[in-house]
Structure 1
Amino acid sequence: MADEKPSDPSPDPKSISATDPLTVPLLDGGVRERLTARFGAEIAAWLDGLPKVLEALAMRWRVELGSLIPRGSMSVVIRCGLPDGRSSVLKVSPDRVRLAAEAAALDRWTTAHTPSVLEVDESVGALLMEAIEPGIPLVESLVYPDTETAANLLLALHASGVPDPSYLPLARRVANLFNSGTNPYKRHPELLDLIPRELYERGRQLATRLAVRVPPTALLHGDLTPTNILDGGVQRGLVAIDPAPCLGDDLAFDAIDLVLWQADDGDMIASRAKLLAPAIGVDTGHLVEWCTAFAAMTALELAESPNAPPNRVQTYLTLAAQAPGDA
């Protein structure tokens, strides 16, 4: 379910002047490649016009533009400095609707487990938020969180989120994920031999059946992958970024990636679910069902990656095979 890529350390933004147009960071080939893969060739015009947008935002919000954070296929992300010396992160996306929903959700969560929103401009799809320190994503640190730490994050998001009716219901979020999740098949048709489309569709059917039962009475993060979970230090614990907010009172959905990530075998998945489920107040079997539904998609994403561990791909395929054919 991961949409984003890990970030790299950035230089000190204090050394850059926000009023100098030459300080607008160069949109390198990596940025263009990632966004083109997501939005298509038509994104070129948006990218070409982005430097002027960034310059205007920097002057209006009085931020010093630093270097690009090379993460994500949905947006351009830049580390910035504030006048008071604090660090911040500027995110600009051509998908203005999604970014507006993300900003609204972050602004309404009243927990230290999400970053504070500093500025928003929906007209250009821009969001300025506090930088999390040390801010290393789980996918980069490769440190698997203990059960209590993971549960604290999930429970804080569940308890403090505001379920605005404008957000998509969970069933729509699930449908969108499974629709976009087929893109690896288009880029690498040979993956059909490893992850048959029939297996993928069985996961979709199971996920749909689970989602339609969920009442829209709570806010879910919607994209709680190891890439979108940062180390917030001793005081804050784990911090969630980049939500794709949706409505559904089923915390098991947001726990899927934490259970599946780096799992070397089925016993590890079962053990994690057995520990995490009661800690967040859900049934263990129900959490395993959600993981089963997304196992084929997870296998497909991993198999597309260079140097993917074959044993982990096989672990997800074995779990995916447990999805009923008539779900």
Structure 2
Amino acid sequence: MITHYGSEISGWLDTVPDLLDQAAERWKLTLGVYHDAGHASVVATAVTLDGRPLLLKAWADPARFRNEVTALRLWAGGPTADVVEVADDLAAAALEMIGGEPGGGERPSRELQMVAAALHGLHTFGRRRPRPCDLPPLTTYLDEEIRPRVRRRLETVDLGSWHELVNVVLPELLALEEDDGRATVLHADLYRENVLFDWLGHPRFIDPLPMAGDAAFDWAFWTVYYDLGHGTDARLATASRIARIPVPVLAPWCRALAVDGLLYYLETADPRAPRMADVLARLSAPIQGNRP
């Protein structure tokens, strides 16, 4: 979290034990152990008076707390973790523990198809229910975060042998346009660790970074990042079939996210950079005419 927010977050981290104690006392929970400290929150296990296991989560950023809880409540009854308790003053919430234990249950053999169907269901909830007007719009994220940071990194990062590959894809990123007909509430953080499986083997989405916008963004994120460098073509084909978004429409979103990811990995000397470059090359093959 210090890497993500900077050293100024240290003061908040010092308050976390007391903050979690307050939440547990308020909701009559017995605290367990710290489970995870990610980029934006701290998570601990907890148990209710009747023995129900929960996760107690505290966010460093109140806005991120509000957005996540808003999205999870919008998706209530769908393939997500239930919100059990919320404390706005603490920026904390008690959430369902998927599968009864941290990390959820065993992943089924048909994971790919099941997650795709569940994501389609999540988007359906986002379309059919009244959409909160205070969720960040995808358009703002594209215009004020992704495109500016790509431009900045292009001036400072050494692309080496991937220079031509990035240059071919770059115009697509700048020209991406949303389709209002696909607008929904996006999860927007579809890494594999954010999709757990419950007692029945059903996928449940956790830790969203929600926005309102074109569902193509989520499908592209899932295609590129869910299992980076493995099964990309299968996810793209599955995403297109389930979402009914043609591959030629979905692929530019995938390439745009892959370019953004590659530049980030190069800037931070992340060892995943070559893997992301391979993903980008595969996704770019139709442009260069070298895909079978």
TM-score tier by shorter-chain length is 0.7 to 0.9
Alignment of 1:179-190 (within 5 A): none
1:247 maps to amino acid? A
TM-score by length of 2: 0.79
Aligned to 1:281: 244
Residue of structure 1 equivalent to 2:290: none
Partners of 2:75 and 2:122 within 8 A in 1: yes
Shift of 1:207: 4.0
Please point out which of 41, 59, 74 is paired with 1:108. 74
1:152 alignment partner in structure 2: 117
Name the structure 2 match of 1:290: 253
1:130 is the counterpart of 2:96:
yes
The Cα of 1:89 is off from its aligned counterpart by: 0.9
- Give the conservation status (yes or no) of the 8 Å contact 1:137–1:227: no
Secondary structure at the counterpart of residue 31 of structure 2: strand
Q: State the partner residue of 1:84.
A: 50
Counterpart secondary structure, 1:62 = coil
Query: Structure 2 regions of 5+ residues with no counterpart?
Result: 288-292
Aligned to 2:85: 119
- Name the structure 2 match of 1:258: 222
Post-superposition Cα deviations, 1:275-312, rounded to whole Å, max 9, x if no partner, equal: 331222211221211111111233355665876484x2
1:135/1:44 CA distance change after superposition, 3 Å:
closer
In structure 2, what is the Cα distance between the partners aligned to 1:279 and 1:72?
Answer: 31
- Structure 1: stretches of 5+ with no match in the other structure: 1-34
Q: In the alignment, what sits opposite 1:21?
A: none
1:241 Cα deviation after fit = 0.8
**Counterpart contact for 1:170–1:211, Cα < 8 Å:** no
C-alpha spacing 1:111/1:323, structure 2 compared with 1 (3 Å): farther
Selected match of 1:166 from 134, 137, 140: 134
CA distance in 2, matches of 1:146, 1:272: 7
Q: Is the 8 A contact 2:189 2:209 kept in 1?
A: yes
TM-score between the two structures when normalised by the length of structure 1: 0.71
Cα 1:181/1:51, change in 2 over 3 Å = farther
Is 1:58 the counterpart of 2:21 in the alignment? no
Output the amino acid matched with 2:139: A
Q: How many residues align?
A: 279
Picking from 210, 216, 219, the partner of 1:245 is: 210
Deviates more, 1:54-63 or 1:312-321: 312-321
After TM superposition, give the deviation of residue 129 of structure 1 in Å. Answer: 0.8
- Cα deviation, 1:11-65, whole Å, max 9, x if unaligned, reads xxxxxxxxxxxxxxxxxxxxxxxx1111111111111222222221111111122
- Give the conservation status (yes or no) of the 8 Å contact 1:103–1:117: yes
State the identity as a percent. 25
66-75 vs 209-218, greater mean Cα deviation: 209-218
Aligned match of 1:16: none
Output one character per residue of 1:234-274: Cα deviation in whole Å (capped at 9) or x when no partner.
35x111111122112x3221122332244548xx5344322
Are 2:276 and 1:313 equivalent residues in the alignment?
A: yes
Specify which structure has the bigger relative contact order, considering alpha-carbon pairs within 8 angstroms and separated by 6 or more residues: 1
Distance in 2 of aligned mates of 1:100 and 1:37: 22
